[in-house]
Homo-oligomer: A and B are copies of this chain.
Amino acid sequence: MSELAGVSGADPAANYPLNCWYVAADSAEIGAGLLARTLLGRPVVLYRQRSGAVAALDDRCPHRSFPLSQGTVSDDQVVCGYHGMTFAADGRCVRVPSQQNVPYDARVTSFPVREEKPFVWLWLGDPGRAAFADPPALPWLQDERWTTFGETFQVEANYMLLHENALDLTHFPYVHPESSPVGYLKTPPQLQIEVSETSVSYHRDFAPGRLVGWQAETTGLSSDREYAQRESGTFVSPALHVDRMHVFPDGNGSGPYDKILTRAFTPLSTDRTAVFWQVSRNYLTDRPEVSEQLRAVHRRTLHADKRVLEAIQARVGTGPQRAEFNVTADLAALRAHRIVAEMLEQERGHRYLPAGARLRA
């Protein structure tokens, strides 16, 4: 109980590892034009080359700091809108219009990009390490046995508040009373946790019970029968959380109705996070009206969480510390905080102490 979970977004010291793939954009956002986006506090400009490959550059001309995103693209090169300095997709300056030669070594920082639809992943850390890491595999997003839809929104809160929220669903009866699975309305079953060096997963098995309204409606299952359910979630990396909800129609654990909520959490700054979310299901996959029902349910819960997390961020921004005690339901979140702290320590060469870490010994 004495361990500290909180990471204050009020602390200007960024608490996100740089050596990590983060989702920078939805594939559909990037066309032939220049897309400006600030992530991890860094302004970046993204564009798609004629080959289809996405390029990402620092959104600041190294000559006089005009945002490159306010320039133009020509022949897969970015032309600055102030003096016409021109940069290739790898960052090299290839033209200075007012003179014949280009200064030696003039370049803008370029960043490794990996596109796995519908996500465009970006690496802002040590570029040499990007080659040894892959963005997380999310095969259900392309698998035709699954149906997927998604959206994007922003939360004015530190990204670790979103991970905490995703890793502990005991807030459901309080924040989402109308959509809370029945199993949460009394003391929920014990949390089961599995950890690896870089991830943490949990699950809870609910004893058979009736489905709540939206569950019956979107699965086509009976609202009069009782079904076992399992809820599970994984902190895959600082950039990604994956949730699954399984309903066992025959009560014996085989052939479940599975719904996956994939959420990329991208810290835009220390107190703002973009959420790229996708909902996938392996049942009633040819029923668009089910997608629309599920979309409404998830929008409602995600926006209720947003309201809670923004209120916490506002409070943390003024108060002295954040987490004075923890409970059993916090175990997965505490483990995620430890993983992030170790990534930050490795990156920075010193121990990262979350705000308030010495609150209780």
Asked if A103 and B315 make an inter-chain contact with CB atoms under 8 angstroms apart, the answer reads: no
Q: List 12 A-B contacts (CB under 8 A).
A: A1-B104, A6-B65, A64-B312, A64-B323, A65-B315, A66-B308, A67-B312, A81-B175, A81-B308, A83-B170, A83-B171, A98-B188
A190 nearest CB across to chain B (Å)? 10
- For the complex of A and B, the 9 pairs showing the least CB-CB separation, nearest first, are A62-B324, A98-B170, A98-B329, A106-B325, A1-B103, A65-B322, A103-B325, A84-B174, A65-B312
What residue in chain B is nearest A70 (Cβ atoms)?
B311
The answer to whether A99 touches B329 (Cβ under 8 A) is: yes
- Min CB distance, A77 to chain B, in Å? 14
State whether the Cβ of A326 lies closer than 8 Å to any Cβ in chain B: yes
Interface residues of A in 281-331 (CB under 8 A from B): 308, 311-312, 314-316, 318-319, 322-329
Q: List B contacts of A5 (CB < 8 A).
A: 64
B59 to A315, Cβ gap below 8 A?
A: yes
A6-B65, A82-B308 given. 15 additional CB < 8 A pairs? A41-B318, A60-B315, A63-B325, A63-B326, A64-B323, A65-B315, A65-B316, A66-B308, A81-B174, A84-B173, A97-B173, A97-B187, A98-B187, A99-B327, A105-B325
State the Cβ distance, A40 to closest chain B Cβ, in Å.
Answer: 12
Partner of A327, one of B70, B103, B105, B323: B103
- Closest chain B residue to A81 by CB distance? B174
CB contacts under 8 Å to B, within A19-62, are 38, 41, 43, 59-60, 62
List B contacts of A103 (CB < 8 A): 1, 325-327
Determine whether A96 belongs to the interface, using a CB cutoff of 8 Å to chain B: yes
Chain B CB count within 10 A is highest, among A41, A100, A171, for: A171
Interface size grouping (class) on chain A = 35 or more
**Chain B residues in 8 Å Cβ range of A242:** none
> Within the assembled complex, what's the spacing in Å between the Cα atoms of A316 and B65?
7
Report how far A167 CA is from B257 CA in the complex, Å: 68
A264 at interface by CB-CB < 8 Å: no
Is A80 part of the contact surface with B, judged by Cβ < 8 Å? Answer: yes
A279, B37: Cα distance in complex, Å: 40
Contact A319 B80, CB 8 Å, known A106-B325, A187-B97: no
What is the CA–CA distance of A326 and B93 in the complex, to the nearest angstrom? 12
- In the complex, which of the residues B65, B84, B175, B322 contacts A319, with contact meaning CB atoms closer than 8 Å? B65
Alpha-carbon separation in the docked complex, A93 to B43 (Å):
44
For residue A348, give the distance in angstroms from its CB to the closest CB of chain B: 16
Q: How far is the CA of A170 from the CA of B64 in the complex (A)?
A: 13
Q: Closest CB-CB distance, A244 to chain B, in whole Å?
A: 20
Using Cβ atoms and an 8 Å threshold, which residues of chain B touch A104? Answer: 1
A43/B99 contact (C-beta < 8 A), A80-B174, A327-B63 known: no
Q: Which of B6, B67, B81, B316 contacts A315 (CB 8 A)?
A: B67
Write the nearest CB–CB distance from A334 to chain B, whole angstroms.
12
A 83-125 to B, binary, CB cutoff 8 A, 1 in contact else 0: 1100000000100111110011110000000000000000000
